[in-house]
Chain A
Amino acid sequence: MEKDFTVALAGNPNVGKSTIFNALTGMKQHTGNWTGKTVETAAGYFKTDNNNYRLVDLPGTYSLMPHSFEEKVARDFIIDQKPDVVIVVCDANTLSRNLTLVLQTIAVSQRVLVCVNLLDEAKKNGIEINLKMLEKRLGVRVVGTTARNKKTIESLLFALDEVIKQPPKTELNLKTDEETALEAVNRAEEICNGIITYKNQNYKKRDLKIDKIVTSKAFGFPLMLLLLCLVFWLTINGANYPSELLFKGFSWLEGELSALLLLLNCPKIIHNALIYGVFRTVGFIVSVMLPPMAIFFPLFTLLEDLGFLPRIAFNLDKPFKSCGACGKQALTMCMGFGCNAAGVTGCRIIDSPRERLLAILTNAFVPCNGRFPTIIAIITMFFIGGGISGSVTSAIILTTVITFGIILTFLATKLLSKTVLKGVPSNFILELPPYRQPQILKVIVRSIFDRTLFVLGRSLIVAAPAGLIIYIMSNTLVNGTTLLSYCADFLDPFARLLGLDGVILIAFILGFPANEIVVPIIIMAYMQNGILQDGFSLDFTQALFIENGWTVKTAISMLIFTLCHWPCSTTVLTIKKETASIKWTLLSILLPTAFGVVLCMIFNFICDVFF
C-alpha cells in the first residue's frame, strides 16, 4: 500500500474522543468522564480496506483560537502538520457549542469530517438532531456515532475513506481576532436553529437533582468523606483475605524454591540472597500491594467514569481559592491517589503557570498507591483487630490519615502562595459533565490489566534488584557490623528525634525508587538482628516490629512520615520534566520532607511532654 494518511482527532473536552481513538486504533488510552483527561497527544495506527491511517488524538479544546496550552497544541498541529483529514468529534448534547470548534476547524484545515458522538445519550435526553440538514449547512461530511457501538464506528471509517478522496481545501482563514471568534459562535447558533428538536425540555433534571445533594451545603462535604471512607473500607476489607492467601502462597513457594536451589547444590550465599533478598521482597510487595490495588483502582475508575471527580473540584474550589490556587488542583490531587507522577503530569489541565506549580509541588502530600499498602499495613498492625468492626475502624483511621494529607496539601499550598509563588488566584472555568453510567465490567477488566498490573510490574522491576542490594547491605560486614546497621546506626540519633529509628529512616531513603519497598526493607533489616523466624505474614511482621521497639507512637510517626517525605524518583523526574527547573524540583523534594520532619518532631515532643 501507499503512504499513510494522517488524521487528527479534535473536539471539545470530554466528548468521547479518547473512546473513538481507542475504538479505531484498538489502543487502550484510559478514558474518564472529565474535562482534560487527555493532556498529551497520542498517536496510533489503523487501516481500512483501502487506506492506511495514522491517527493523532489532540487535546480537547473549546476553540482553535490559541489562548491556552492545549489550544495552541491543537492549532499548531493542524496548521503546521497539515493532517490530511481532521475529524471533529462533537457531543450531540451540546451541539451548538461544539459547532463553534467545527467552524473554526473548517476554516484552517484541508478536509474535515464531523462526527456527532454520544447520540445514544442525547436520545435518552430527548434530543434529536437532523444530521442530513447539518451536513448541508456545514458543507462537510457528517457522521453520527455512538462510540460504544461498533457499527457506528464502521460508518465513520466508511465516511473517512470517502472524505480522503476530496481535493484539499487550499484557501485557509487563519484569523484569530475576537470578531472571528464571535462570528463562529453566532454562526454555530444559527446552524443549530431548526435542526435540533428537544422532546424533553427537562432532560437535565436527573443530573441536577443528584448535584443538588452532592453539592449541597449540608451534605456536600460529609458525602465526599463518606464516599472516601466507603472506598477505603471496601479496599481494606476486600484485600484482607486475598492478602493472607498470597502470603501463605509465597511462604509455601519460598520453601519449595529454597529446597529446589539446595537440591541443585546452589551455594548458600547465592541461595540466601535469592530467597531472603529477592524473593521475600517481591513476595511481600505482591501480597501487600496487589489486593488493595486490584480493588481500589476499579473503584476509583468507576467514580471517575461516573463523573464524580469534577464535583469534588467544584466543592473544593473555594478552599483552594483561599489558598491562592485553582479548584482543578482537586482533580490532580485525586489523580495523585493513583500515582503522584500521573498527578503531576495531570497538572497541565491548570492554565495559570503559578497555580500549576502550586499543584505540582504539593501533589506528593496525598499518598499514592505505593504508599497506601504501607499505611494500611501499619493501621492493621497497630490500631485494630480483625473482623468487620475492625475494618470499619481502619477505614475511618485511613480516611483520617488521608484527610490529614489533604489538609496538609492546603497548608503547603497556602504557604507557597504566600511566599515563593505569590499572586492572585486566576480564573476558574470548569465543566460539570453529565453523569454517565460506567461500563462496570469493562472498567474492572481495564483497570486491573492496564493500571494495577502496570503499576505492580513497575514496582517489581524496582523491588527485585532493591531486595538484592538490601540483602547484600545487610550481610556485608564492615568493622564487625553489617553495612546496613552501620548506616542505620549513623542515622539513628536523628531518626529518634522523629520518633522513628535508623532502620526506618534508611528504609525510606532506600525506598526512593519506589515507596512500596519501605516495609520490606525494614523487615529485612530487623531480621538480620538475630530474630530470623519461619514464615512471614502481617502477624509475624507486627511481632518483629514490636520486638524492635515499635510502639503506637512509632506507628503514628511512621504514618506521618509516610505521608510527608520526598516524592519517589519517578515523580521527581516527572516534576523535573514538567517544570523544566532544578530549583522547583528541589523545592518539591524539600517541602514535603520539611513538613514530615517538623510534624514528627512536634508530635514526639508533645508525646514526651504529656505521656
Chain B
Amino acid sequence: MSCLFDLDVGQKCQINDILIYDSLRRRLIDIGLTPKSVVECVEKSPLGDPKAFLIRGAVIALRKEICEKITVGAVI
C-alpha cells in the first residue's frame, strides 16, 4: 500500500504524507485531509476515477492525480 488511489471501496487507512506543495495542499488540509487522519474509500466512479473518500464525516471525490501524491499507511 503506497498511495491513496490504491485503496479499494470499503478499505480504510491512515494518511502519511501529502506530497503536494501548491495551493491545493491547503485546500486538502482545510477539508480535513491531514497527516495521521483516517480516511475510507467509499465510492468509485463508473470509469474508475475519481474515487470518493469519507473524510471527517463528509464524502469527498478526488482525482487519481491527487490521490497518487498522498501516501498512506497499511489498510486498517
A140 at the interface (CB under 8 A from B): no
A319-B63 Cα distance, complex, nearest whole Å: 12
A207 to B62, CA, bound (A): 18
Would you call A317 and B46 a contact (CB within 8 A)? no
Within 8 A of B (CB), among A414-452: 425, 427-434
Task: Confirm or deny: B76 has a beta carbon within 8 angstroms of a beta carbon on chain A.
Answer: no
- Report the separation of the CA atoms of residues A204 and B57 in the bound assembly, to the nearest whole angstrom: 9
When distances are taken between beta carbons in the complex, the residues of chain B under 8 Å from A314 are 43, 45, 50, 52, 61
Partner of A182, one of B34, B42, B47: B34
Given A428-B61, A428-B63, A429-B62, also A96-B56 (CB < 8 A): yes
Map CB proximity to B onto A313-334 as digits: 1 under 8 Å, 0 otherwise.
0110111010000010000000
The segment from A216-224, A354-362, A515-523 found at the interface with B is A216-224
Cβ-based interface call for A215 (8 A): yes
Distance of A468 from chain B, by nearest CB (Å): 51
> Does A100 count as interface, using CB distance less than 8 angstroms?
yes
B31 pairs with A62, CB closer than 8 A:
yes
Contact present for B46 and A221 (CB under 8 Å):
yes
Count the B residues whose beta carbon is within 8 Å of the partner chain — how many? Answer: 33
Complex Cα gap A97–B37 (Å): 12
Contact A318 B30 (CB under 8 A): no
Is B32 within 8 A of A97, CB to CB? yes
Question: Does A380 interact with chain B (Cβ within 8 Å)?
Answer: no
- DSSP class of B's interface residues: helix, strand, loop or mixed? mixed
Say whether B58 contacts A94, CB under 8 Å.
Answer: yes
Contacts between the two chains (Cβ within 8 Å), count: 120
On chain B, the residues within 8 Å of A321 by CB distance are 49, 63
In the bound assembly, the distance between CA atoms of A63 and B42 in angstroms comes to 24
Q: Contact check, A432 vs B27: say whether CB atoms are below 8 A apart.
A: no
Which residues on B sit within 8 Å (CB–CB) of A94? 56-58
Smallest CB gap from A196: residue in B = B57
Cα separation A211 to B41 with both chains bound (whole Å): 13
Q: Give complex CA distance A432, B41 in Å.
A: 13
Complex interface: chain A residues within 8 A of B58 (CB): 93-94, 97, 431
Among candidates A63, A67, A68, A186, residue contacting B34 with C-beta atoms closer than 8 Å: A186
**A67 in contact with B26 given A215-B45, A317-B45, A317-B50 (CB within 8 Å):** yes
Candidate in A93, A208, A212, A434 with the most chain B CB atoms within 10 angstroms: A208
- 24 A–B contact pairs at CB < 8 A? A65-B26, A67-B23, A67-B27, A68-B27, A93-B58, A94-B58, A97-B31, A97-B55, A100-B32, A178-B29, A181-B26, A181-B30, A204-B54, A204-B59, A211-B42, A211-B43, A217-B46, A220-B46, A314-B43, A317-B45, A321-B49, A428-B61, A428-B66, A433-B59
